[in-house]
Amino acid sequence: MDTYLSWPVELVEGSGATVTDSEGRTYIDLVAGIAVASVGHSHPSVVDAIAEQARRLMHTSNLYPTSPALVLAEKLHALTGMRSFFCNSGAEAIEAALKLVRRWTQREKGRSATIACTTGSFHGRTFGALAATGQESKQVPFVPMLEGFVHVPFGEVDALAQAGSFDAFLVEPIQGESGIVIPDEKYLSEVRALCDERGALLVLDEVQTGLGRTGRWFAHEWSGVKPDVMCLAKALGGGLPIGACLARPGVASAFQPGDHGTTFGGGPIQAAAANAVLEVIEREGLVERAGRLGTFLLSELTSAFGAVATVRGRGLMLAIEFEAPVARALAASAFERGVLVNDIGTSILRLTPPLVIDEDQLRRAVSILREAWDETRAAA
């Protein structure tokens, strides 16, 4: 169906931070499958883990636990102290979080939950995630929305304080799909304090920001807070579909057998891939690398575009915002010159390269983006 505005290309191979099309042209990839290929395309350790697991056992359903999923739950527990529910996408991780919040609210407060969310947010396309997503344009074609959600402006703790009664606050530490919107440094800690005061859960959507992308394992570490519930997906499977809804034990226990489930979630191949991804992130120091290269890229972009656009980012999650609606034309020109970059809305370019990209590739990519800008401007 016509759900995507796809580029006119067939990508057939990928390695590290580059992909190659069916005509043999190679591109520096600043998209990474939208923040998925963090360890690089077809990382040998991930490929080996998938192949080995596929030869042994591909699927059991969650009626029969498998060791890759248990190991993955243990690894995530070691990183976060949280328990995991595995599913197949970011949207499903959000659905699990929303159901967990409702179940917890019934148990703790004996009523149905109100979940506060933010304007400009993006949480996915399924009905729960869509009701949480603070973008009218995405919701209006599919009304009526699910009940039990209120929206407050992102980045404004006072607005949340005035939102009336809420049982959970769902928020991205940095808004990704809206164009890398970074709130004030104190926002998350103030929000955490407000949730505690109100007896509400803090639910963080780290689907895009998680697993090293911002230069910390999880973006909330920048503000020193701990969430009650956290959603992961994207980078977790190295390209295979897997999502995870994590919760601290006292909240996770609200789910009882039969409350939630999925046939494929946490299947042995996806979990084996995720275990390999976590090992690669650790072994190759990719969290620290994302922070270091992010600082480098921010400075290169600021030199190239600071006079004509707003440049912002944290770690390897960056955006260039122009005043004019040039994003698609710029992305198209960059594509012709061998760089993949994601245009958002009409005036923003989003950069979420693989964390394994190197300085030389980033330098070349920025110089190509600058050429693309010069061409686009000349044509205007």
Ligand X SMILES: Cc1ncc(COP(=O)(O)O)c(C=O)c1O
Residues annotated as part of the active site = 122, 205, 234
CB nearer ligand X, residue 44 or residue 345 = 345
Closest contact distance (angstroms) between CB of 258 and ligand X is 24
Distance, in Å, from the CA atom of 304 to the CA atom of 140, rounded to the nearest integer, reads 38
89 binds ligand X (CB under 6 A): yes
Tell me the β-bridge partners of 13.
Answer: 20
Distance, in Å, from the CA atom of 213 to the CA atom of 80, rounded to the nearest integer, reads 16
Q: Which residue is nearest to ligand X (CB)?
A: 90
* Of residues 131, 53, 355, 85, the one with CA closest to residue 232: 85
Q: Which tokens in the block code for residue 326?
A: 């040039």
176 binds ligand X (CB under 6 A): yes
CB nearer ligand X, residue 131 or residue 366 = 131
Closest contact distance (angstroms) between CB of 327 and ligand X is 17
* Of residues 90, 169, 177, the one with CA closest to residue 125: 90
Closest contact distance (angstroms) between CB of 91 and ligand X is 3
Site string for ligand X, 59-88 (x = CB under 6 A): ------------------------------
205 binds ligand X (CB under 6 A): yes
Site string for ligand X, 4-43 (x = CB under 6 A): ------------------------------x---------
112 exposed, middle or buried (CB, 10 Å; 0-12, 13-18, 19+)? Answer: exposed
From the list 95, 177, 190, 321, which residue makes contact with ligand X (rule: CB under 6 A)? Answer: 177
From the list 18, 208, 333, 352, which residue makes contact with ligand X (rule: CB under 6 A)? Answer: 208
Distance, in Å, from the CA atom of 133 to the CA atom of 167, rounded to the nearest integer, reads 17
Residues 6+ apart with CB under 8 A from 375: 333
Q: Which stretch binds ligand X (CB under 6 A): 57-65, 205-213, 250-258, 259-267?
A: 205-213
Q: Three-state SS for 8? A: coil
Closest contact distance (angstroms) between CB of 125 and ligand X is 6
Distance, in Å, from the CA atom of 35 to the CA atom of 339, rounded to the nearest integer, reads 15
Residues 6+ apart with CB under 8 A from 117: 123, 132, 133, 134, 149, 150, 151, 152, 169, 170, 171
Residue 90 backbone phi and psi in degrees, to 5:
-65, -45
Residues 106-125 that bind ligand X (CB under 6 A): 122-124
Rounded to a whole number of angstroms, the distance between the first and last alpha carbons of the chain is 33
CB nearer ligand X, residue 145 or residue 193 = 145
Closest contact distance (angstroms) between CB of 109 and ligand X is 26
CB nearer ligand X, residue 90 or residue 294 = 90
CB nearer ligand X, residue 90 or residue 313 = 90
Q: Quote the radius of gyration of the chain (alpha carbons, Å).
A: 21
Distance, in Å, from the CA atom of 56 to the CA atom of 46, rounded to the nearest integer, reads 16
Closest contact distance (angstroms) between CB of 205 and ligand X is 5
State the alpha helices, DSSP H only, in the chain. Answer: 32-35, 44-56, 67-80, 90-109, 127-132, 136-139, 157-161, 187-198, 249-252, 268-283, 286-305, 327-336, 359-379
Number of residues that bind ligand X (CB under 6 A): 15
Distance, in Å, from the CA atom of 346 to the CA atom of 31, rounded to the nearest integer, reads 17
CB 18 within 8 A of CB 28: yes
Q: Which stretch binds ligand X (CB under 6 A): 24-32, 63-71, 201-209, 318-326?
A: 201-209
From the list 31, 73, 233, 298, which residue makes contact with ligand X (rule: CB under 6 A)? Answer: 233
CB nearer ligand X, residue 157 or residue 174 = 174
CB nearer ligand X, residue 119 or residue 302 = 119
CB nearer ligand X, residue 91 or residue 96 = 91
Closest contact distance (angstroms) between CB of 299 and ligand X is 26
Closest contact distance (angstroms) between CB of 122 and ligand X is 5
Q: Three-state SS for 22? A: coil
From the list 46, 91, 191, 244, which residue makes contact with ligand X (rule: CB under 6 A)? Answer: 91
Binding-site ranges for ligand X (CB under 6 A): 34, 89-91, 94, 122-124, 172, 176-177, 205, 207-208, 233
